[in-house]
Amino acid sequence: MLAIPQTYRVNLRTPGQPDAIATVPPGGAIPAATLIVPRRNNGPIVAADSAAGVALSVQYTGFSATRELDTFRQLDLSRDLRDFRAALNVFDVGSQNWAYVDVDGHIAYFTSAELPLREDLEAGAVRGAPPYLLRDGTGGNEWLPATRRYPGQALPYEILPPGEMPQVVDPPAGFFVNANNDPAGTTLDNDPLNQRRATGGIYYLNVGYDGFRAGRITERLRADIARHRKLTVADVKAQQADVTLLDAEFFTPYLVSALARARSSHTPALAALAADPRVTEAVGRLARWDRTTPTGIPQGYDASDVDGRLARPGAREIANSVAATIYAVWRGQFVGNVVDARLAPYGLPQPGGSEALKALRHLLETYDQRHGVGVSGVDFFAVPGISDPADRRDLLVLRSLAGALDLLAGPPFAAAFGGSTDQDDYRWGRLHRVTFDAVLGPPWTIPATGGPLPGLPGLPTDGGFGTVDVANHGVRADAAGEFTFGGGPVRRFVAQPARGVMRAESSLPGGTSEWLGSPYYQNLLPRWLTNETYPVRLDRADLARATASVTHYLPERRANA
């Protein structure tokens, strides 16, 4: 263990005077030194109990020297696929998805970064906690020391051979899709640890992925291919603008069938839900819904709007907006009633939103065989006093919907809907809003003054959890302020190669200047919000004609130099 002294300096700002830099002495939350563990790739100790003699350290590939800057230099000099692959060999830390296309018609997908091999997994079994939880640092879970080195390797540990990293060149299907999804299918059976390498070791990449976006893109691509349509740049931009909820395509039919069964049920609790007019109205809305998530309000930014200019929503858009609201709140209640409520007695943490939805889908897909009992033996659909498995399932589905409607009409959503019980008022845009928070806060934050909806900060926009057009909120959101978000695509880039030339379009959430007051500070944002693009200028002469200003940075010249 090594102690590295820490020094913190801050700017002391006094109006009318130049900033002064002062050293902050150690004390309180500021340690005098950071303790690092060399055998943890120089990772730090982040918590320690000296009395018990235990500590928590972090081991990360980025804690030693790596060569990512070389990658980008080499990519800029690449002339073909071979050069591109060679450049990725020195991208050592930070797993990334790389798409390649060239003017000769080749396409390829690669993952990058060095993946250390663990001693227990290479021996073919998990020792103690799995690799996605805190592990025993006293032995048995260590990164293996390097016995061979691959081109560009920086880590002194054994890594997964580059040839075993997920990749494809010129796929037979003629396309590949990646949107941070599982690139190798290792988690599709809900077990990320049951694939084997040729060595007999466990082939482990990650515990989970975001699969909804890639699933929707693939769905659209396959539909176009089935119609023998040749894809265009406009088609790809439409994919990027897609705000359909893929999970709703699976779960909504269960709501419809649950109500149909409940209407003839002899189970009192289930029959009571079928007799609730709020529930029947909501299920009817969901049955007619196309699974999209428009804002449904005049102040909302939607992909259907043109060139950043807002249009009044039509009746169909409003209906879809209301259904999106009802579904989003139901989803959170269903996760809570089925997953969270059953895990809480065991003192287990809540799984992430995507993991919870995948678990629910798996439980429902296997319901006829397992009746909601997981592989762990936990009955996730247990309802006291009801023995029929189908009734238990349908009761929890509809009870979650009734709970969602109670919330929407109650205090948690009063800021958005004012306690209204009229489902027509439940417009998605009043909940789903984006704020671009600046590190320095207002006035650099966008919007700087709250937004167009009184008492509801942010800009109303379409999209939702897991949509291709990224606009995520928490799956368990159950109040008016919990459906907001602050991220999204940093750019929407589309390229079309042709012999000797490349056409490209993009979109940025803001502008090209960080100077507050500049006409280029947020001039691109409205078009980004409505999924419009601008041409990327790849020709030097074209770029020169569009240049507004050029700033030259030169070394300071000293008088005695």
Is-cis flag, bond preceding 443, omega within 30?
yes
Q: What gap in Å lies between CA 3 and CA 375, rounded to an integer? A: 46
In terms of pLDDT, which residue wins out, 342 or 26? 342
CB 197 within 8 A of CB 203: yes
Q: How confident is the model at residue 516 (pLDDT cuts 50, 70, 90)?
A: confident
Q: Is residue 411 part of a domain?
A: no
294-337, pLDDT tens digit by residue? Answer: 999 999 999 999 999 999 999 999 999 999 999 999 999 999 99
Torsion of CA 114, 119, 123, 127, to 10 degrees: -120
374-390, pLDDT tens digit by residue? Answer: 989 999 999 999 999 99
Of the candidates 405, 432, 453, which is a domain's last residue?
405
35-70, pLDDT tens digit by residue? Answer: 999 999 999 999 999 899 999 999 999 999 999 999
DSSP assignment string, 407-449: HHTSGGGHHHHTT---GGG--GGGT-EE-B--TT-TTSSBSTT
Note the pTM of the prediction, 2 decimals. 0.90
| pLDDT the model gives residue 443 | 87
| Rg, the chain, Cα only | 27
247-275, pLDDT tens digit by residue? Answer: 999 999 999 999 999 999 999 999 999 99
Percent of the chain at pLDDT above 70?
99
Which phi and psi (to 5°) does residue 202 adopt?
-75, 130
The mean-pLDDT minimum among 44-48, 216-220, 374-378, 436-440 falls in 436-440
Average pLDDT over residues 346-371: 94
Element (H, E) at 98: strand 97-101
CB-facing half-sphere around the CA of 413: CA atoms within 13 A: 26
How many domains does the chain fold into?
A: 2
| pLDDT the model gives residue 561 | 57
Q: How confident is the model at residue 498 (pLDDT cuts 50, 70, 90)?
A: confident
Tell me: pLDDT of 143 over 60: yes
Q: Is residue 374 part of a domain?
A: yes
The mean-pLDDT minimum among 68-77, 279-288, 346-355 falls in 346-355
| pLDDT the model gives residue 505 | 95
Mean pLDDT, the chain, integer: 94
Q: Is residue 291 part of a domain?
A: yes
Of the candidates 343, 377, 405, which is a domain's last residue?
405
Q: Is residue 21 part of a domain?
A: yes
Of the candidates 21, 38, 59, which is a domain's last residue?
59
Closest CA to 354 of 474, 206, 215, 220: 474
Look up residue 329 and give its two tokens. 């709140």
| pLDDT the model gives residue 145 | 96
Q: What range defines the domain where residue 8 resides?
A: 2-59
Q: Which class for 203: exposed (0-12), middle (13-18), buried (19 or more C-beta within 10 A)?
A: middle
Q: Is residue 361 part of a domain?
A: yes
Q: What gap in Å lies between CA 475 and CA 426, rounded to an integer? A: 18
Alpha-carbon distances of 235 from 63, 84, 230, 308, 468, rounded to whole Å: 42, 27, 9, 19, 13
Average pLDDT over residues 114-140: 96
